[in-house]
Amino acid sequence: QVTLKESGPGILQPSQTLSLTCTFSGFSLSTYGMGVGWIRQPSGKGLEWLANIWWDDDKYYNPSLKNRLTISKDTSNNQAFLKITNVDTADTATYYCARIADYSGPFDYWGQGVMVTVSS
């Protein structure tokens, strides 16, 4: 059974760094073709893809967030991480992590999401 669960700070102030953790089970990020992605959704709005990390440590980022994103993984502990630097109120959203089982495939399993609020 594949499960993913996000965790984060809940609330942070503008200019701080947001650190998110995705803890998963039922698959390994060392398996060929496997990946984990991060997606966010402001309340009542659409979905925005942020980044992917792959079994071979290949990484892809959404250029719209310029150089603010860093994705990483800890294969032995079944975790993936996302950092977003210099946050502002526009980063307020629910953040999801999701699995990609096939290198060219969709997000087939999603976590429940973690809500992050940026406020002074």
Partner 1 sequence: DIQMTQSPASLSASLGETVTIECRASEDIYNGLAWYQQKPGKSPQLLIYNANSLHTGVPSRFSGSGSGTQYSLKINSLQSEDVASYFCQQYYDYPYTFGAGTKLELK
Q: Which residue among 10, 46, 90, 119 contacts partner 1 (CB under 8 A)?
A: 46
What is the footprint of partner 1 within residues 76-115 (CB under 8 A)? 96, 104-113
63 forms part of the interface with partner 1 (CB under 8 A):
yes
- Provide the token pair at 53: 């990390």
DSSP-assigned beta bridge partners for residue 40: 48, 95
Nearest of 29, 65, 71, 33 to residue 48 by alpha carbon: 65
Counting beta carbons within 10 angstroms of the beta carbon of residue 89, is it exposed (0 to 12), middle (13 to 18) or buried (19 or more)? exposed
What is the footprint of partner 1 within residues 7-26 (CB under 8 A)? none
- Provide the token pair at 117: 């609020």
CB-wise, 3 or 28, nearer to partner 1?
3
| Span near partner 1 by CB under 8 A; candidates 8-16, 26-34, 56-64, 78-86 | 56-64
| Residues at the site binding partner 1, with contacts judged by CB under 8 A | 37, 46-49, 52, 60-64, 96, 104-113
